[in-house]
Amino acid sequence: MRAIALALVLATLAGCATTPPPPREPVVAWRPSLNHDARSAVVIVLHQTEMESAEAALLTLQTRNSGGRVSAHYLIGDDGALFQLVDEGKRAWHAGASRWGGLSDLNSASIGIELDNDGQEPFSDAQIATLLWLLDDITSRLDIPKHLVIGHGDIAPTRKRDPSALFPWKRLADAGYGLWPRAPLAPAPAGFDRWAAMRLVGYDLSDPDAALRAFHRHYRGNEESQWLPGDADILFDLQRQLMGMPEPLPLILPTPTPTP
Ligand SMILES: [Zn+2]
């Protein structure tokens, strides 16, 4: 019997292509410290599904599909129904290659919310009401700064256009979410550096035309890639708001991880 057992062990070892790693104990000695806190999202990224229905989008977000595997933490139907797909403590795959301020891997640093919308239609009142409820819930529980609610098109301006120019950012701002110019707008001073303000807001300027289109989609309701009258005044106010805030963006970057 011992000979058979030994032969089985040898056969098993011979089948291993690599040496197994050493057990964590006793190599690693666990000495717990109370001096830590949870790592969590610092930004909320909004999307539109660009699909026919919430059910179709849920299927895509839950399964493998031809365009690659994608997910989001939440999906809100156009009837206001709210679905959660990924735990808030986990990294959902919704942002892709993206930049915002000092952040270069938004999947690691954000909560992703998909809005059931085909990209051509207005966003329903019921959907926005649920979104406002969810933003209140998430920002208060996870301690995410309320102004850090942004769009997928803002963080990936060369690749993405969601949510569309029809998205009611001002309505979110009226409820306290996102960064929005205050009324009445003070005129920007002569020589004001619009690009520096764009960078401070968070836009990646490596493709300036794309960044301007994203800014206009978010703040002007169009997708112009040239400066428009009034842009400087808006950016001057956004800059003044951010400079009055203690920390516009976290200075500690998340560890880069491969982005699907
Ligand atoms: Zn998106």
Q: How confident is the model at residue 7 (pLDDT cuts 50, 70, 90)?
A: very low
Instruction: Based on DSSP, count helices (H) and strands (E) in the chain, helices before strands.
Output: 10, 5
Q: What is the pLDDT of residue 146?
A: 96
Percentage of the chain beyond pLDDT 70 is 87
Q: How far is the CA of 177 from the centre of ligand 1 (A)?
A: 19
Does residue 228 sit within a domain? yes
Does residue 193 sit within a domain? yes
Q: How far is the CA of 113 from the centre of ligand 1 (A)?
A: 9
Q: Which of 164, 180, 196 is the last residue of a domain?
A: 180
Q: How confident is the model at residue 21 (pLDDT cuts 50, 70, 90)?
A: confident
The DSSP element (H or E) to which 211 belongs, if any, is helix 208-219
Which of 158 and 68 is assigned the larger pLDDT?
A: 158
Chain centroid to CA 142: 14
Query: What is the bridge-based pairing of β-strands 43-48 and 74-76?
Result: unpaired
Say if residue 94 is in the same domain as residue 214. Answer: no
Does residue 143 sit within a domain? yes
Checking if the pLDDT of 2 tops 80, the result is: no
Say if residue 127 is in the same domain as residue 161. Answer: yes
Which of 148 and 1 is assigned the larger pLDDT?
A: 148
Say if residue 174 is in the same domain as residue 209. Answer: no
Say if residue 170 is in the same domain as residue 48. Answer: yes
Q: How far is the CA of 98 from the centre of ligand 1 (A)?
A: 11
Q: Which of 159, 180, 201 is the last residue of a domain?
A: 180
Say if residue 155 is in the same domain as residue 236. Answer: no
Q: What is the pLDDT of residue 19?
A: 79
The most confident of 6-10, 11-15, 220-224, by mean pLDDT: 220-224
The CATH number of the domain where 148 resides is what? Answer: 3.40.80.10
Which of 249 and 125 is assigned the larger pLDDT?
A: 125
Torsion over CA: 214, 216, 222, 224 (sign) = negative
User: What's at 162, amino acid-wise?
Assistant: D
Q: What is the pLDDT of residue 31?
A: 85
Does residue 42 sit within a domain? yes
Say if residue 128 is in the same domain as residue 186. Answer: no
Does residue 191 sit within a domain? yes
Round to whole Å and give the CA distance between 55 and 65: 15
Q: How far is the CA of 19 from the centre of ligand 1 (A)?
A: 42
Does residue 15 sit within a domain? no
Q: What is the pLDDT of residue 156?
A: 98
pTM: 0.83
∠ CA 94-95-97, nearest 5°, is 135
Checking if the pLDDT of 69 tops 80, the result is: yes
Say if residue 146 is in the same domain as residue 176. Answer: yes
Does residue 241 sit within a domain? yes
Round to whole Å and give the CA distance between 217 and 198: 14
- How does 88-120 read in b/e, with b if 16+ C-beta sit within 10 Å? eeebbbbbbebbbbebbbbbbbbbbbbbbbeee
Checking if the pLDDT of 154 tops 80, the result is: yes
Query: What is the bridge-based pairing of β-strands 149-151 and 82-84?
Result: unpaired
Does residue 233 sit within a domain? yes
Q: Which of 50, 52, 55, 114 is catalytic?
A: 114
Q: What is the mean pLDDT of residues 107-113?
A: 96
Closest CA to 121 of 68, 191, 218, 49: 49
pLDDT in tens, 78-105: 999 999 999 999 999 999 999 999 899 9
Q: Which of 180, 206, 228 is the last residue of a domain?
A: 180
Q: What is the pLDDT of residue 251?
A: 46
Round to whole Å and give the CA distance between 86 and 112: 9
Round to whole Å and give the CA distance between 92 and 62: 11
Round to whole Å and give the CA distance between 20 and 142: 39
Q: 219: domain range?
A: 181-247
Largest interatomic CA distance in the chain: 92
Say if residue 42 is in the same domain as residue 168. Answer: yes
Q: How far is the CA of 22 from the centre of ligand 1 (A)?
A: 42
Domain count, the chain: 2
Say if residue 73 is in the same domain as residue 188. Answer: no
Q: Which residues keep their CB under 5 angstroms from ion ligand 1?
A: 47, 152, 162
Closest CA to 250 of 179, 157, 145, 152: 145
Say if residue 199 is in the same domain as residue 124. Answer: no
Say if residue 49 is in the same domain as residue 150. Answer: yes
Say if residue 105 is in the same domain as residue 173. Answer: yes
Round to whole Å and give the CA distance between 18 and 176: 55
Is residue 114 part of the annotated active site? The answer reads yes
